Amino acid sequence: MLDDRPDDAATCLWSLRSYTDDDLQTELLSVKDSISNDRHKGSISDLLNRDRRPLVIVIVLAVLQMACGAGVLEAYAASIMSNTQISSNASAVYLGLVVLLAAVPFALVVDRSGRRPLMIVSCFGTAACHATVAIILWYRDVVGRSWLPLFLSIAGAQFFINIGLMPLLSVVQCEYFPSDTRALADTAVVMAVTITSTFMITTYQPVADALGTSANFVIYSIACLAGGLFCCLFMPETKRKSFAEIQVDFHKTKRPDGKIQKLSDYQEIA
């Protein structure tokens, strides 16, 4: 298709996928539309209008990635564990191993379970662990100086963060945007992550001094709960979908007869 040889492209698709005539035409239109989009130089206007919905989703996920307390745990986990029987160095090593081990289930299930369920589990699991940390810190005098409950709760938060909230953002970024606006979207995401991370880290100590360390984890838990609900309501599933199918989901509108546009309708309009 890039060399303007549609007949050869049709022959290749026919031999590789054994399409029916209708499916073959649909796929050829999809490829032609994708090539046309690739040749178009995207602008900020395209990002804010055509790709507004995926942009809002990835910006929310970027903010959530840091609002869940990921950066704070990396910066302050050792100091949080400092009043327990486990040393700061040991806790840092153990938590690092948890982050490493979380990559295994993520790699195994991301293409089986899908992005949306994994993100939802990550959000609600992290919220539960942060709530547990807040309770332990609030009742530290009752729990005593035992390191195990606090460590397991923080380790659980790190695990759930690293099976969804941290790695999935880069995955959906690549899937949501066409090549002409992907760089602009990446820039917006980096800015959102940087600003949120800076805000969360710089406000941790003032909040801890004013309201207690547990208050921070209550905030993180609420943020994760809100993020989980957002994913339930607004995050589309992209597992085993082509780029054209994902774009149709984002730009899905009702026709005058009240029916939802299909992939073929979208490609005919394009």
Q: At a CB cut-off of 8 Å and minimum separation 6, what does 144 contact?
A: none
Give, for all 270 residues of the chain, the pLDDT tens digit.
556 676 776 677 666 666 666 676 777 677 666 666 555 667 888 889 889 999 999 999 999 999 999 999 988 887 887 767 777 778 788 888 998 889 888 888 888 888 999 999 999 999 999 999 999 988 875 555 667 888 899 999 999 999 999 999 999 999 999 888 888 999 999 999 999 999 999 999 999 999 999 999 999 999 999 999 999 999 999 888 888 788 888 877 444 444 444 444 434 333
Output helix, strand, coil percentages for the chain, rounded to the nearest 5: 80, 0, 20
CA angle 139, 142, 144 (to 5 degrees): 105
pLDDT in tens, 121-131: 999 999 999 99
CA distance 255 to 269: 12
**pLDDT score, position 77:** 82
Please give the model's pTM, rounded to 2 decimal places.
0.77
pLDDT given at position 38: 56
* The dihedral sign for the CA sequence 228, 232, 237, 243: negative
235, burial (CB in 10 Å: exposed 0-12, middle 13-18, buried 19+):
buried
pLDDT at 158: 94
Beta bridge partners of 254: 260
The pLDDT tens digits of the residues spanning 49-73 come to 889 999 999 999 999 999 999 999 9
Q: Taking phi first (over 0 means left), then psi (-120 to 50 degrees means alpha), and beta for anything else, what does residue 255 get?
A: beta
